[in-house]
């Protein structure tokens, strides 16, 4: 949640905490602590040092933040209940759905596909944007999709093809996809605020696509010395994406490029951009590559509850499918 949104919702912000005025709040924000959650997970000595306040005051501030957030445990039944309203968006391929646990891309989660150019990452994005609109019985979540396009590769004509192949009205389907071109990483980050606003205004957004998650970050922080800054900014962005997914019960699908990893001598010598920061943020992470006879192969990487498996799919005129 962004600062402005927190304020609009009437929820507590950093300056509502005793001992934290605007000056200290600004210092905290500059260090990446921009809400109560960020404060709640700090230790008194680190807050004391960062904010230039005594340790006793720091401890009280942290306790106050934890109190306001109602941080604590929920039992397994409560947890299961919260998971009951999770929705699933079919990828268009049963194989790929099974790889992801059976029904496709999940709400309240972030799913990442990384792989070389032409491996099918954008094609899956386009297929998901159409399928999200379907009713639950048909593999959708009855919602609209947001498509954040960082590379100008969104093609309405391709959406038409996919929609028409399933007998849907292409115009209607296109109307339910809200496309924004992100011109740089700051713009890309700002668009999250915009999405939160649209949802507050009643737009039934159930899928947010970012194609590509990392291209701008990679281009803008090209120097070796800038890696730490890039990762910090990316990390903060990912954190906001996941919070949005959780808060609005929507699915986030991101694409990611690969870079050559010269240190790897066996197997496929490619690594995802953004490395572990993106990997840890993604609930489901897939690696896409070209397979035999025009097929694509998706490999599941480090899933919390599923075995690391592979699935074969095709990119057809009708979108992502099991067959050509």
**Closest distance to Mg ion from the beta carbon of 119 (Å):** 9
Binding mask 123-162 for ligand ATP (x = CB under 6 A): x-----------------------------x-------x-
Interface region with ligand ATP, contact rule CB under 6 A, candidates 36-44, 70-78, 111-119, 305-313: 111-119
Q: What share of the chain is helix, strand, coil (3-state, %, to 5)?
A: 45, 20, 35
User: Shortest Cβ distance from residue 72 to Mg ion (Å)?
Assistant: 42
Contact with ligand ATP (CB under 6 A) among 90, 109, 122, 282: 122
Near ligand ATP in 227-266, by CB under 6 A: 257
Residue closer to Mg ion by CB (options 111, 122) is 122
256 is a contact residue toward Mg ion (CB under 5 A): no
**CB proximity list for 157: less than 8 A, separation 6 or greater:** none
User: Which of 97, 255 has the CB closer to Mg ion?
Assistant: 255
Q: Quickly list DSSP for 162-183.
A: HHHHTT--HHHHHHTEEEEE--
323's CB contacts (< 8 A; 6+ apart) are 314, 316
Task: Report if residue 257 touches Mg ion, rule: CB under 5 A.
Answer: no
User: Taking CB under 6 A as the rule, does residue 118 contact ligand ATP?
Assistant: yes
- 113 closest CA partner among 322, 320, 293, 323: 320
Cα 67 from Cα 58, distance rounded (Å): 14
**Least distance to Mg ion from the beta carbon of 84, Å?**
34
CB of 177 to Mg ion, least distance (A): 16
CB nearer to ligand ATP: pick between 67 and 118: 118
Q: Which residues, at least 6 apart from 5, have a Cβ–Cβ distance to it below 8 Å?
A: 193, 196, 197, 200
Three-state DSSP state, 7: helix
For the bound state, the minimum distance from the C-beta of residue 177 to ligand ATP, rounded and expressed in Å, comes to 16
Q: Near ligand ATP by CB under 6 A, which window of 19-27, 56-64, 92-100, 116-124?
A: 116-124
Q: Rounded to whole angstroms, what are the CA distances from 127 to 104, 188, 285? A: 12, 22, 18
Stretch that binds ligand ATP, among 42-50, 184-192, 194-202, 311-319 (CB under 6 A): 311-319
Of 36 and 215, which CB lies nearer to ligand ATP in the complex structure?
Answer: 215
**Is 2 or 316 the residue whose CB approaches ligand ATP more closely?**
316
Taking CB under 6 A as the binding criterion, the range among 12-20, 121-129, 197-205, 269-277 that sits at the site for ligand ATP is 121-129
For 96-117, give one letter per residue: b (16+ CB within 10 A) or e.
bbebbeebbbbbbbbbbbbbee
Binding to Mg ion (CB under 5 A) within 111-130 occurs at: 122
Cis? peptide before 212, omega within 30° of 0 = yes
Work out what residue 123 binds among Mg ion, ligand ATP, none; the CB cut-off runs from 5 to 8 Å by kind. Answer: ligand ATP
Tokens standing for residue 261: 């990893």
Query: What is the C-alpha to C-alpha distance for residues 82 and 86, in angstroms, rounded to an integer?
Result: 8
Does residue 317 belong to the site contacting ligand ATP (CB under 6 A)? Answer: yes
- Between residues 306 and 318, which has the closer beta carbon with respect to ligand ATP? 318
Burial of 148 (0-12, 13-18, 19+ CB in 10 A): buried
Question: Which helix (H) or strand (E) covers residue 189, if one does?
Answer: helix 185-200
Which residues sit at the interface with ligand ATP, rule CB under 6 A?
A: 115, 117-123, 153, 161, 257, 315-317
Which residues sit at the interface with Mg ion, rule CB under 5 A?
A: 122
């Amino acid at each position: 949640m962004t600062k402005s949104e927190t304020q609009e919702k009437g929820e507590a912000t950093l300056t509502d905490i005793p001992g934290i005025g605007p000056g200290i709040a600004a210092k905290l924000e500059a260090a990446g602590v921009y809400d109560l959650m960020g404060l709640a997970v700090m230790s008194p000595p680190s807050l004391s040092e960062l904010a230039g306040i005594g340790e006793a005051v720091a401890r009280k501030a942290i306790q106050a933040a934890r109190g306001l957030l109602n941080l604590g445990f929920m039992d397994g039944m409560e947890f299961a209940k919260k998971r009951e309203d999770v929705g699933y968006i079919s990828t268009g391929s049963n194989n790929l759905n099974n790889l992801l646990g059976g029904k496709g891309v999940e709400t309240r989660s972030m799913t990442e596909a990384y792989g070389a150019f032409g491996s099918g990452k954008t094609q899956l994005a386009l297929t998901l944007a159409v399928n999200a609109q379907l009713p639950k019985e048909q593999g959708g979540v009855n919602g609209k999709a947001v498509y954040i396009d960082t590379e100008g590769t969104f093609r309405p004509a391709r959406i038409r093809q996919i929609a028409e192949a399933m007998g849907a009205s292409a115009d209607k389907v296109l109307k339910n996809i809200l496309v924004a071109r992100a011109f740089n990483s700051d713009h890309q980050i700002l668009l999250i605020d915009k999405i939160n606003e649209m949802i507050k205004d009643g737009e039934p957004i159930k899928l947010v696509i970012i194609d590509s998650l990392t291209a701008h970050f990679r281009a803008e922080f090209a120097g070796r010395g800038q890696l730490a800054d890039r990762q910090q900014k990316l990390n903060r962005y990912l954190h906001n994406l996941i919070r949005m997914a959780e808060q609005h019960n929507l699915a986030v699908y991101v694409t990611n490029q690969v870079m050559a990893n010269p240190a790897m001598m066996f197997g496929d010598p490619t690594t995802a951009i953004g490395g572990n920061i993106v990997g840890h943020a993604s609930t489901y992470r897939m690696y896409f590559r070209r397979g035999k006879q025009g097929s694509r192969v998706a490999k599941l990487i480090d899933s919390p509850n599923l075995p690391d498996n592979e699935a074969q799919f095709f990119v057809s005129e009708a979108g992502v499918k099991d067959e050509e």
